Every structure is written in structure tokens, then in C-alpha cells.
Amino acid sequence: MKVTEHLAAAKGKTLFSIEVLPPQKGKTIDDLLKVIEPLMDFKPPFIDVTYHREEIIYKKRADGLIEEVPLRKRPGTVGICAAIKGRFSVDTVPHLVCGGFTPEETEDALFTLHYLGINNVLLLQGDSDKNPKSNSAKPSAYKYASDLVQQVSNMNRGRFLHEETETEMKTNFCIGVAAYPEKHFEAPNLATDLKWLKHKVDCGAEYIVTQMFFDNQKYFEFVDKCRALGINVPIIPGIKPIAQKSQLSSLSKLFHIDMPEALVDEIEKCADDKAVKRVGIEWAIQQSKELKAAGAPCLHYYTMSRSEATIEIAKAVF
């Protein structure tokens, strides 16, 4: 089923969903399946699997020269989606990114997903290339997520790359995109960012998942601004429980988000990360209860492929 069909079938009840990462290259998929297994008790209708672009690593050769090598550290998003779907009979949402792909490679991946019966995709620009000047880095044909949205929308109409006419065969993807209640870090202001978010919806995005935030007011105000602009698709809040004191600055730096003063004060009082984890879980429970009471369509947890904190939160909220 499509994400939007799950949301419609819930008839206003708030759903529970999670995001996981593919295992690091060399680790088995079994550990990931063990993380997901206990979370299935809370009946997520869909599970997102992230995509990770190739990185350039530097290897010293026998002749002493340094060689650039492209390496995908967490490969296998599409296969992992198929494995999770097969094991738990749950819908999966692969993330697809612009970074390092040609439109032809993207079309190929979309056909694979279509034939696997995976009908949901979250389309993203992708994290930026860590070594943009490297000669070995694959260029990205697309600059913005909206370019991907346009390609998938075309496929849903039977318009494939380099074909003169529309075909009878059509894909049937439900398209999700990302949004940032505290603004995307490259956007000059929130209004401009919202203009481009509306563009993604106008190109065919059917639902939105937000970046993590720790102050619900930011989500509520963001939803109001979207509605005022005519962005009427479901907006699913993303939630992450803090687990380490160092995340006060690392999450702020990495995701360009603000931490509420009350949360920072509580965490600074903690003697160790065990205590921080408790505060993080309690904060996420309060956030989740308020979002649920306000009628959020689904609460989407960034698990980072760990289950304990999300289990505790889900037990308290669902």
C-alpha cells in the first residue's frame, strides 16, 4: 500500500513509523532485522530505509602514490527494502537521492522497485559530496529533489526517458519529500525554502516528512505556513530522542536545528550518557504525546538503527 493510503485508512488516528539505515558494508543484515523485529509490535505501516551516496576514500598504493577510490559505505538500500518487506510483510520506503546518479541509473532503480512491488519513494537532494573537487566523484545530473520528483511523476504517467510516446505500462509510486521546520541550511530564508517545497508538491510530491525538531511549536507554525501557501499534503513530523550529551552540539551542527533551553538545561545536569538517554526519551515522549493530541498524521522516528529508545517511546505513546 502507498503511504498516503495508510494515512487515509487511519482516519485521523496517528500512525507510528521508523527510519533505519542500511548496515555498514561488511556487517550482516541480521542485526538490522533484529532491530526492527521488536518495533513491529507497534505496527508501523511503513519503514523508511536511507540512501548513502558514494564517498571518495584515499588509499596508499604499493608505489607510494595516493589513489582515490569511490566507496559506498552503506550499500544496498533497494535490497534491504525488499528483505524487510519480505520478512515482516510491511511496506518499505527507499530513499533515493540526486547525488552521484544519472537519470538513467535512477530510472533503472525505479524499475527494480516497481517490479519488487515497492510503491513508495522518498526523493531527496542527498547529503552533499564530502570531496566535491575529487576527479573520481560521480557528478549528479540533478541538482534538486524536485528534478527527481518530476522524473518519477513522468514515470507514473508512462513517460520514460528517451521515449517519444507515453507507454501503456505506468509505475505507481507514492512520492514523499523532505522539509525543514527550521529551514534548510542553504535556503536564504524560510519563505524561499517554502516556495521550493511548494514546487516539489506541484511537481507531484504527495506527502512530506520533516527534519527532526525538538520544539513542537516550530512544527505547528511550519504546518500553518505550509497550509497558508496551499501546501495541503500530509506533513509527517520526524522525531529523534537525544542519547548523548555531545549531540547537543553535533545534532545542531549537522542538522541546523535549535535545541530548546529547557532540554539543554536538563541534559547539562546529567552526570553521564545513561542519564542523558533518560532525558532524551522523556522529552521525545512528551513531544510525541503533544503531536499526537494535535492530530499529526504519523510520528516518524529516526532510530539510527537502534531500537531500545524507540520501543520505550512507542510503549508510552501508542
- Binding range to ligand FAD, per CB under 6 A, among 49-57, 223-231, 245-253, 272-280: 49-57
- Binding range to ligand FAD, per CB under 6 A, among 39-47, 54-62, 138-146, 263-271: 138-146
Nearer to ligand FAD, 31 or 202 (CB): 202
The 3-state DSSP class for residue 300 equals: strand
| Residue numbers 186-225 binding ligand FAD by CB under 6 A | 186-187, 192-193, 196, 200, 209, 211
| Residue numbers 240-299 binding ligand FAD by CB under 6 A | none
**Which residues neighbour 208 within 8 Å (Cβ) at sequence distance 6 or greater?**
176, 177, 178, 179, 197, 201, 226, 231, 233, 234, 235, 236
Cα–Cα distances in Å, from 235 out to 3, 34, 99, 178, 208? Answer: 12, 29, 24, 9, 5
Contact 56, 90 (CB under 8 A): no
**Which residues neighbour 303 within 8 Å (Cβ) at sequence distance 6 or greater?**
18, 19, 20, 35, 39, 309, 310
Should residue 146 be labelled a site residue for ligand FAD when binding is judged by CB under 6 A? Answer: yes
Cα–Cα distances in Å, from 295 out to 29, 75, 236, 274, 301? Answer: 35, 36, 10, 32, 16
Residue 59 Cβ vs ligand FAD, minimum distance, rounded to whole Å: 24
Should residue 237 be labelled a site residue for ligand FAD when binding is judged by CB under 6 A? Answer: no
Among 50, 119, 247, 310, binds ligand FAD (CB under 6 A): 50
Among 144, 244, 259, 282, binds ligand FAD (CB under 6 A): 144
Helix axes 308-317, 29-39, angle to 10 degrees: 20
Which x/- pattern, by CB under 6 A, does the window 96-125 give for ligand FAD?
A: -x--------------------------xx
Q: What gap in Å lies between CA 213 and CA 287, rounded to an integer?
A: 10
Should residue 137 be labelled a site residue for ligand FAD when binding is judged by CB under 6 A? Answer: no
Residues that bind ligand FAD (CB under 6 A): 50-51, 53, 95, 97, 124-127, 144-146, 178, 184, 186-187, 192-193, 196, 200, 209, 211, 238
